[in-house]
Chains A and B, each alone.
Chain A
Amino acid sequence: MFTAMTTMISISNLSKTYEGGFQALKTVNLDISRGEIFALLGPNGAGKTTLISIVCGLVNASTGTVTVGGKNIVTDYRAARELIGLVPQELTTEAFETVFSAVSFSRGLFGKPANPAYIEKVLRSLSLWDKRNNKIMTLSGGMKRRVLIAKALSHEPRVLFLDEPTAGVDVELRRDMWALVSELREQGVTVILTTHYIEEAEEMADRIGVITRGEIILVEDKATLMHKLGRKQLTVQLQEAIDSIPETLADYGLERAAGGHALVFTYDAERAQHGVAELLRDLAAAGLAFKDVNTTQSSLEDIFVDLVKEER
């Protein structure tokens, strides 16, 4: 009972083999908590859209079950789908409808009585209000994407899927999107987004799942992930170049850089505690004078590239 209260989406043993025999998902298990912002990260063809499409009812699963808000997406599809809003990856909008009527249409489709005031609020929050009477085909690509978001929000969903929301979107809209997600977070809406851009996951998500070739190879809190896998590098700028690394420093696995003018120390989060202080002490003991020290942290991007490379 406890899990039913905190789990919003529960995916168990989900697999999908497309008609041609291609297996796009292999036994996916994933739980997403209520109010969580979850980023699904993966290269092209990893199965992100397939996973989302199954949860939203656009693709039939081959095996496994999915519940949304405790409702089975197949046997209790009405109750499950009422909770869900989907912003698809492709820009698929009606052409001849006006923005306002298209968004109102979506609300009706999801079984909600008309509520022009609410639609107005959504359109205003997406800077679409001025365009409400324009035909959708006259809008720019970025605006069409806003229309898709407005449609997905039109029925006040509790779960929002954003399938690559910022693909082909300018900086401003990307910022707006991030703002929107944090606003939704405040309202307790669960958000699942897929992206290739690590910075996006880093910026918005609470938890990150990495999917590649149909398998979720890692699910971790963003902070833990950064902590666990984030490599740090300490670069020590020496006053005088050295030709070789002194014997006493052999244990640190240092690398010479900048023609011997710098030493690079690579360490992970666990070693950080004493490693750095000890190294600096030992450097001084070895008689090496340094003029500057700086550290860099590997981004999620590096982590991700490493992970996916490992898998291959």
Chain B
Amino acid sequence: MNLHAINAIYRFEMARARRTLTQSIISPVISTSLYFVVFGAAIGSRIPQVDGVSYGSFIVPGLIMLALLTQSIANASFGIYFPRFTGTIYEVLSAPVSYLEIVIAYVGAAATKSIVLGLIILATAALFVPLTIKHPLWMLMFLVLTAVTFSLLGFIIGIWADGFEKLQLVPMLIVTPLTFLGGSFYSISMLPPFWQTVTLFNPVVYLVSGFRWSFYGIADVSPALSLAMTLFFLIACIVTVAWIFRTGYRLKP
């Protein structure tokens, strides 16, 4: 293991986050706070409790997931796409670094950033609504697994993209809609039966449900299934990344 290299890339990426603090931390916190004000306080006060939890509290896990997914993808895809775009990637590719080490460093940094962000949003939420976390260890596990999985997905997008539009494409057209329709703001039991079935094909449902269960002990699907699905996505991403590196896809002509 070239630990010096992992350390160098990781620190480089974290330094980039510090330089772009507004973009990487402050703006997600502000937009999440707006959700609390609009959905939690304004509209939420007209909505009865969901599964015995006030609406404001109910949406907290979903909002954290929303930020976690979008920010993990954004961080990781940009982190690897930008050096490809400017050409500085040559240095990493010519260094005595294995692909595993490259992934650990870039994905580790992106995941770290979104985990920190998730915790900050959690703390922000605590200012607005009462929170309980019934299963803190599970909560952390879902947080970490999701951050890592979606940072990997972001990494894949960053390698696949050959322009800045493509970099935005997947998050805009797929991830955001799936997250909004994935039960972040509602329990799927509130939907008509047909749509409940359709929703079960949305992977984000499992992430949100498991995460919400770790807070309040209420879930749309069983926590074990949530965990299994999360692990499934993680493995799918790992397999894809391994394929990318084995073939040199978009990295080496």
Contact = CB atoms under 8 A, between A and B. Distances in A.
B252 A111 contact: no
Nearest to B251: A58
A95 B86 contact: yes
Give the interface centre of B8, B9, B95, B97 by most chain A CB atoms within 10 Å: B95
B87 interface: yes
B93 A57 contact: yes
B8 A105 contact: yes
Contacts of A134: none
A264 interface: no
Nearest to A93: B88
B252 A92 contact: no
Contact of B96 (A60, A78, A105): A78
Nearest to B3: A111
Contacts, number: 76
Contacts of A94: 86, 88
24 contacts: A58-B93, A58-B252, A60-B248, A79-B96, A81-B95, A81-B96, A86-B91, A88-B87, A88-B90, A93-B88, A96-B16, A97-B12, A104-B8, A105-B8, A105-B11, A105-B12, A107-B4, A109-B4, A109-B8, A109-B91, A111-B4, A111-B96, A111-B97, A112-B4
Nearest to B95: A109
The CB with the most chain B CB atoms within 10 A, among A92, A106, A112, is that of A92
Which 6 residue pairs of A and B lie closest in terms of their CB atoms, listed nearest first? Answer: A108-B8, A92-B87, A78-B96, A81-B96, A109-B95, A56-B94
Nearest to A91: B87
A104 B97 CA distance: 16
A78 B96 CA distance: 4
Contact of B90 (A58, A78, A96): A58
A97 B252 CA distance: 25
B84 to A, nearest CB: 11
Interface of B: 2, 4-5, 7-9, 11-12, 15-16, 19, 86-88, 90-98, 248, 252-253
A116 to B, nearest CB: 14
B96 A92 contact: no
A34 B166 CA distance: 46
Nearest to A96: B19
Interface string A257-294: 00000000000000000000000000000000000000
A82 B96 contact: yes
A86 B253 CA distance: 18
Interface of A: 18-19, 56-60, 77-82, 84, 86, 88, 90, 92-97, 101, 104-113, 151
A82 B94 CA distance: 9
B4 A92 contact: no
A77 B248 CA distance: 15
A9 to B, nearest CB: 15
A109 B90 contact: no
Contact of B95 (A19, A93, A110): A110
Contact of B5 (A84, A90, A93, A108): A108
Given A92-B90, A105-B11, A109-B9, 17 more contacts: A58-B94, A60-B253, A81-B95, A86-B91, A88-B90, A92-B87, A94-B88, A96-B19, A104-B8, A107-B8, A108-B5, A108-B8, A109-B8, A109-B95, A110-B96, A111-B4, A111-B96
Contacts of B90: 58, 86, 88, 92
A295 to B, nearest CB: 47
A72 B16 CA distance: 35
A78 B101 CA distance: 12
